Amino acid sequence: VGTFDTALDAEFTKRVPNQRPEMCPRSNAKIEGGLNGAYRLGMKVLCVGDGDMSFALAVAGQVFDKNASGEGSVVATSYEDQATLQKVYPNFEETLKSLRSYGGVKVGYKVDATNLHASFPDGLANTTFQRICWNFPCTAISRGQDGQNAAMEETRTCAAFPLEGAGSQFEFKGKIVFDRCNLPPYVPRKALDRKSFPCHDACDYVFGWSGGGSNSSIPEAGAGADDDDDDDMEPEKIVKVTTKMLERVRAIHLRNQVGAERKKHERTTRKGGQRKKRQRTK
């Protein structure tokens, strides 16, 4: 269905300003685990390429229940060593403490996602996972310079390397709109930089075992329904994105922005009138 790249929508980008992820009003909402169809209670999940470990912490909130119990497990890994992460991310130790409060979590450093066999933590080499997540993959690059257009091809090659190593066992299943607000307290960070970056048009590219249906083990709501019938949505399952849905979301953003511009104009007009009144008084 069309494109998720809002940069191609001239009217939208002109009227709606870009924002940091933490500025989204939904970031302050209290969202319980289990609302993201990609992860469920009791799953065994491997996270590679994490930075401040907030993504792994968000996944742990989906895998374990409120009492930090359950049959699941999370292995959180980073390409950097622990000392580097402590230096770059001010809240790293607090995040690490929260992550380790879940009994089924293990943390590994200096793990290369393109060479897991040689860099994986000791004792976990033969572990089986139901999900392997590389969130916003990038090459090992200078501080804050990841995701640049010039390095896009290199990043694609880097991200494809683990899949190529699996031979014909994996196949592309589809894309899922990445909703960061369903994964609190995750904040996307640039490589070796505490700064965040916008991810409103990001997607998860899903690969699974060859065969076994088009959606692998990811639950999809409304299977077989009409493409434009998105009124009956099940919050705990993946909902197919339709043209109607995208048009509705776009219209809401534009309407909200028009209202914000009108209020700003009214405040400016009132301030101008008050200044003129004071000047006449003097």
Same domain for 248 and 139 = no
Answer whether residue 227 is part of any domain: no
Answer whether residue 279 is part of any domain: no
Distance CA 243, CA 237 (A): 19
Contacts of 7 (CB under 8 A, 6+ apart): 13, 201
Residue by residue, pLDDT tens for the chain (282 residues) are 233 466 678 888 888 877 666 666 666 655 554 445 678 889 999 999 898 999 999 999 989 876 656 678 999 999 999 999 999 999 999 999 999 999 889 999 999 888 888 888 887 777 888 888 988 877 666 554 555 556 556 666 666 655 555 555 777 777 887 878 778 888 888 888 888 877 777 888 888 877 655 445 555 554 444 444 544 445 456 677 788 888 888 888 888 888 877 887 777 777 666 665 566 555
> pLDDT at position 68, please?
58
Same domain for 80 and 178 = yes
Domain enclosing residue 260, as ranges: 242-273
> pLDDT at position 275, please?
63
**Measuring CA to CA, which residue among 103, 162, 94 is closest to residue 132?**
162
Answer whether residue 14 is part of any domain: yes
> pLDDT at position 160, please?
62
> pLDDT at position 233, please?
47
Q: What are the phi and psi torsion angles at 176 (to 5°)?
A: -125, 130
Answer whether residue 55 is part of any domain: yes
Same domain for 158 and 257 = no
Same domain for 259 and 162 = no
Distance of CA 196 to the CA centre of its chain: 12
Answer whether residue 164 is part of any domain: yes
> pLDDT at position 146, please?
56
Answer whether residue 46 is part of any domain: yes
Structure tokens at 188: 């996307």
Element (H, E) at 249: helix 243-281
Same domain for 40 and 101 = yes
Answer whether residue 249 is part of any domain: yes
